[in-house]
Amino acid sequence: MGKMQITGETTITGVFGYPVKHSLSPVFQNAAFQHCGLNWVYIPFEVSPENLGKAVEAIRFFSMKGMNITIPHKKNVLKYLDFLDEEVKLLGVANTIVNEDGFLKGYTTDGIGFLRSLKEDGNFNPEKKNVFLFGAGGAGFALTGSLVNAGISRLVICNRTYEKAVIMKTHLKKYFSFENTEIVQFEERNQSSLWKGIDLIVNTTSVGMKDEDIVLVEEENLNEAMFIYDIVYNRKTKLIKSAAKRGIRYLDGLSMLVFQGAVSFTLWTGIEAPIDIMKKSLIEYRKNTNNT
Catalytic residues: 74
What whole-number distance in Å separates Cα of residue 5 and Cα of residue 153? 50
- Shortest distance (Å) from residue 70 CB to ligand ATR: 10
Total residues in contact with ligand ATR, by rule CB under 6 A: 14
Q: Is 180 in the site for ligand ATR (CB under 6 A)?
A: no
At residue 99, the 3 state secondary structure works out as strand
- Shortest distance (Å) from residue 108 CB to ligand ATR: 12
Q: Is 139 in the site for ligand ATR (CB under 6 A)?
A: yes
Toward ligand ATR, which CB reaches closer, 96 or 99? 96
Q: Report DSSP letters for 142-182, one per residue.
A: HHHHHHHHTT-SEEEEEESSHHHHHHHHHHHHHHH----EE
Site string for ligand ATR, 35-64 (x = CB under 6 A): ------------------------------
Toward ligand ATR, which CB reaches closer, 56 or 133? 133
* CB atoms near residue 150 (< 10 Å): 18
What whole-number distance in Å separates Cα of residue 43 and Cα of residue 267? 17
Region binding ligand ATR by CB under 6 A among candidate stretches 54-62, 110-118, 153-161, 167-175:
153-161
Selected from 25, 99, 144, 205, the binder of ligand ATR by CB under 6 A is: 205
Count of all residues that appear for the chain in the document: 292
Q: Is 98 in the site for ligand ATR (CB under 6 A)?
A: no
Region binding ligand ATR by CB under 6 A among candidate stretches 3-11, 40-48, 156-164, 172-180:
156-164
Toward ligand ATR, which CB reaches closer, 73 or 269? 73
* CB atoms near residue 145 (< 10 Å): 25
The pair phi, psi for residue 12, each rounded to 5°, is: -105, 130
Region binding ligand ATR by CB under 6 A among candidate stretches 8-16, 119-127, 189-197, 200-208:
200-208
What whole-number distance in Å separates Cα of residue 59 and Cα of residue 94? 15
Selected from 31, 52, 136, 251, the binder of ligand ATR by CB under 6 A is: 136
Strand-pairing partners, residue 184, are 158
Please report the sign of the dihedral spanned by the C-alpha atoms of residue 258, residue 141, residue 93, residue 19. negative
Binding site for ligand ATR (CB under 6 A): 135-140, 159-161, 164, 204-207
